[in-house]
Amino acid sequence: MKQIIQQIFRSGKFIVGFSIFTTILLVVIVYPLLIPDPPLNIIGQGTFFEPGIYVSVFDSISSPQYTLNLDEAAAKRIASKLGEEDRLAIKEWLIASGIPEGEIEIENTEKLLDQWFENYDPAKNIPGMTNAKRNYFIRLNKAITGLLSDEGMSITVKNAETGVLEEKGTIVPSAYVNVNEVPNVRVLPLGTDNFGRDVLTELVAATRVSLQIGFVAGIIATLIGLTLGLLSGYVGGVVDDVIMFITNLFIVIPSFVLLILISFSIGQDQRGAFTIAMVIGFTSWVWTARAVRSQVISLRNRDHVNLSKLSGHSVVHIILTDILPYIASYVVMALILQISSGILAEAGLSILGLGPRTTEVPTLGLMMNWAMIYQAHILGKWWAYFPVIITIALITFSMNLMNTGLDQVFNPALRD
């Protein structure tokens, strides 16, 4: 046993797969201990907040202020405020004012603003300019001048009695707060989803549930497949014929179709994560049954089995001590494959809208489903779906690598 494990851990593929899988497992276990938020808590009002560090504006105002005189502060401020549309509008004005297009650099904020202040004249009329457009330019000019001014912003509070606004203080452009001193800062490494939920927390919880679904489905499928395979291979005769008929039937009838039919028939209310896992398990045992059967048949007439039969051991005893240990490696490999295909099956079902019911737990498939329904992929909200795809791929990839590694150890013919 020790030697086998040593051999397994000499396989590069197995080690890589095992490391990835263990890492995922560790994150799934440790993350909720550090951040115990409920995964489906809606924290964002609105959809798809970008990944980043969210600092409370309210708390920032009352936090200790420090003055930092940084040269590029103003330029940065304008650069971030000046959108693509504004820049294009400025360019339009400059061209109308007779500046050759080649001299306008739309991305160079400093140069663009210099040209703007030189050429802008609110009284000037560009032929064909609508009134709305003229007002837009006036507003734009005001905004830019405002951003460049050294004057601060006042903080006013409404007096509860008189209803008059009273100035409490001003904030100058050179005032800074230390993020560490702001009591409410929320890091959203993967932003929020369409419902305003923290994607990372949701993703970790979804990975856990999906793994659970995979394990339950895999164990059910492996148990059924193992039992049927053992029966069919060891007992033979009519039992074998019947079991093989059913197995071959379910190999050609796509299990995906069965999954759709059963899941739909169960109905939305009955579909918990566990139910889905069971349904997946009950529809995906065929390959294990076939593999186990052919292994058992090749073992059935080996000397040690015959010896055991002659010694009068019971069928159960023979199966447990003379057959199972020899097919254990195949069963483990089959289990690994079942788990990863179970996770994929859940994802597929969920995208079809047949996943587990939505109020309690997220799954990787459901996250994908939500992202697709809210068109995250078309809107460019990559954080809502890309981490999900990567997680699914990493799980199945790592399990497959482990499987290939095991296969190479146990079937030397496949070795490189």
Strand partners, 169: 155
From residue 262 to residue 291, the character string flagging contacts with another protein as x (rule: CB under 8 A) and all else as - is: x-xxxx--x---------------------
Nearer to another protein, 94 or 381 (CB): 381
| Binder among 38, 52, 183, 254 for another protein (CB under 8 A) | 254
Between CA 201 and CA 361 the distance in angstroms is 12
| Binder among 53, 253, 307, 315 for another protein (CB under 8 A) | 253
Nearer to another protein, 205 or 344 (CB): 344
249 scored as a contact of another protein (CB under 8 A): yes
260 scored as a contact of another protein (CB under 8 A): yes
Q: What's the closest the beta carbon of residue 28 comes to another protein, in angstroms?
A: 19
Q: What token pair was written down for 139? A: 């507003």
Residue with tokens 């010694």: 311
Q: What's the closest the beta carbon of residue 116 comes to another protein, in angstroms?
A: 31
19 scored as a contact of another protein (CB under 8 A): no
At residue 360, φ and ψ (nearest 5 deg) are: -100, -55
326 scored as a contact of another protein (CB under 8 A): no
Q: How many residues bind another protein (CB under 8 A)?
A: 47
With residue 336 as reference, give the H or E element that holds it: helix 324-351
Contacts of residue 325, defined as CB under 8 A and 6 or more positions apart, other chains included, come to none
242 scored as a contact of another protein (CB under 8 A): no
From residue 165 to residue 204, the character string flagging contacts with another protein as x (rule: CB under 8 A) and all else as - is: ----------------------------------------
Helix ranges (DSSP H) in 231-285 = 237-252, 255-266, 273-283
Dihedral (Cα; 213, 217, 218, 219), 10-degree rounding: 110
The single-letter DSSP state of residue 49 is P
382 scored as a contact of another protein (CB under 8 A): yes
Q: What's the closest the beta carbon of residue 286 comes to another protein, in angstroms?
A: 10
Q: How many CB atoms lie within 10 A of CB 288?
A: 27
- Closest by CA to 339, choosing from 402, 262, 254, 406, is 402
| Binder among 42, 187, 257, 320 for another protein (CB under 8 A) | 257
344 scored as a contact of another protein (CB under 8 A): yes
- Closest by CA to 177, choosing from 52, 77, 67, 78, is 67
Helix ranges (DSSP H) in 167-198 = none
410 scored as a contact of another protein (CB under 8 A): no
Gyration radius of the chain over CA positions: 33
Residues near another protein (CB under 8 A): 10, 248-249, 251-258, 260-262, 264-267, 270, 340, 344, 347-348, 351-354, 368, 372, 377-378, 380, 382, 385-386, 389, 392-393, 396-397, 400-401, 404, 413-416
